[in-house]
Structure formats: structure tokens, C-alpha cells
Amino acid sequence: MQRYNSKNLILCSQDVTDKSMVNEEETVKDVYNAIAKEFDNSRYRPWSCVESFLDKVPKHSIIGDIGCGNGKNMLYRKDCRNYGCDFSKELVKICLKKNLDVIEGDILNIPFQENSFDYTICIAVLHHLSTKENRIRAIQELKRITKKGGEILLLVWAFEQEPDSRRQFVQQDNWINWKDKKGVLLGKRYYHVFKETELENLIDDSMKIKTSFYERGNWGVILAVK
């Protein structure tokens, strides 16, 4: 593999009726650049299902984290070679300060070579894409950079929330506010929340669905690349 050198969430019920008007760069990248420091301060460790996946990864494996955010998942398995990318330049800067091997990149055109990783994770990223076509394209990119026989972990927000969750959705396409500790609105992010089996239906025959699961308001799949 080529080596590169490198909250306070409040639900807004505004519907997104015209997905062609959703600009992911405007509604997601710019917001993450604006909130990068607060985001980093509020994200400390991987989710339990991510830890469970990474716990099974053999030592010295090569792991790719696409949409790595502040790099919290990359710090979990220090006995492996971890590489990441994120399309927020401010989050990339935070990762580099932690001495993580991270570059700026878009999930629709991931800046890694084919067959780069033994294991690839993509956590809470696909739900920011506004069209089914782009979600499929992103999954194909994840497959491209993962070796045959390797595995991919995907996690997305679920439409079906637990009764005690503060997130309760009335439609699948939503704008969600990010406010700072003082209640000042810093931006809105687009979310397409997935219904049961919707994520699995994006997977083609070049990958095998090893496991599908629901955990704490998220749908997840583990894929094996054929």
C-alpha cells in the first residue's frame, strides 16, 4: 500500500423534499470544519460494536478508517497499521496533531489504492449522502480499497429509534442542528436515516453480508469482500 504522509444534537423536523438540492459539501463538510474542536472534545472512544469488530482483527493487520473524524477509532488497535481519511480538513489537522496517518479525502473518491486494507471501517458516514446512487458508489469504493477476503464494517443512523432515545424521526431525510454548549447554532447537517434492511439492499454480489445488527439507534453490517 502506498503510505501517505500526512453534543449537543437537537433534531430538526424540517423535511428534505428535493434531494437534488442537498449539497453534501455545504451541509456536512463545512459544518464539520466549523465544529471540529467541539467534536473532538466530545468523542473519546469507539462505539462498543466497533470495539467488538476491531477486537477480532489480527495483530499487524492494515486497517482503513474512512470518515475517521477525530481519529478515536484509529487509536484503539495500536498493534495494527492504521490509516484514515476524512473530508473535513479541520478534523484531519486534529488527527495529525495526534500523530495519526490521516489524509483529506472524499468517500466517493477515496484516495487509497485498490486492495490497500485487510479491514475497513466506515462509521456514521453513509447517512450524510443524499442519494441512493452515492451510497452505492461509496460502498463500492470501500470494497475497492479492501483486499479480497477482507472485511468491512458499516454503521449508519437508524430510522427506528429506541423509545427512550432523544432522536425520534418522522421522516428519513432530516436536517439536524449542532449547537455549542451555550446553545448557539453552529450549523445543520443532512442525515438520511436508514430503515431496517435498507443498508443490506445496497450490497451487491461482490460482497457477502456476514452479519447484520442493530445497536443503540444504529444499523450495521459486516461485509466480506469476495
What pLDDT score does 182 carry? 85
**Sign, CA torsion 93/70/203/192:** negative
User: Per-residue confidence at 9, pLDDT binned at 50, 70, 90?
Assistant: very low
pTM of the model: 0.88
Which residues have a Cβ under 8 Å from the Cβ of 54 and sit 6 or more positions away?
46, 63, 73, 76, 77, 119, 121
CATH class of 9-128+137-225: alpha beta
65 three-state secondary structure: strand
What pLDDT score does 224 carry? 99
Q: What is the DSSP letter of 166?
A: S
CB of 120 within 8 A of CB of 152? yes
**Mean pLDDT computed over every residue of the chain:** 89
Residue 175 has pLDDT above 70, yes or no: yes
Residue 150 has pLDDT above 70, yes or no: yes
pLDDT tens across 89-107, in order? 999 999 999 999 999 999 9
> Residue 196 corresponds to which amino acid?
E
Report domain extents, the chain: 9-128+137-225
Nearest to 31 by CA among 162, 184, 152, 190: 190
Question: How far is the C-alpha of 29 from the C-alpha of 31, rounded, in Å?
Answer: 5
User: Per-residue confidence at 22, pLDDT binned at 50, 70, 90?
Assistant: low
Say how many residues make up the chain: 226
192 three-state secondary structure: strand
Question: How far is the C-alpha of 5 from the C-alpha of 89, rounded, in Å?
Answer: 14
Residue 147 has pLDDT above 90, yes or no: yes
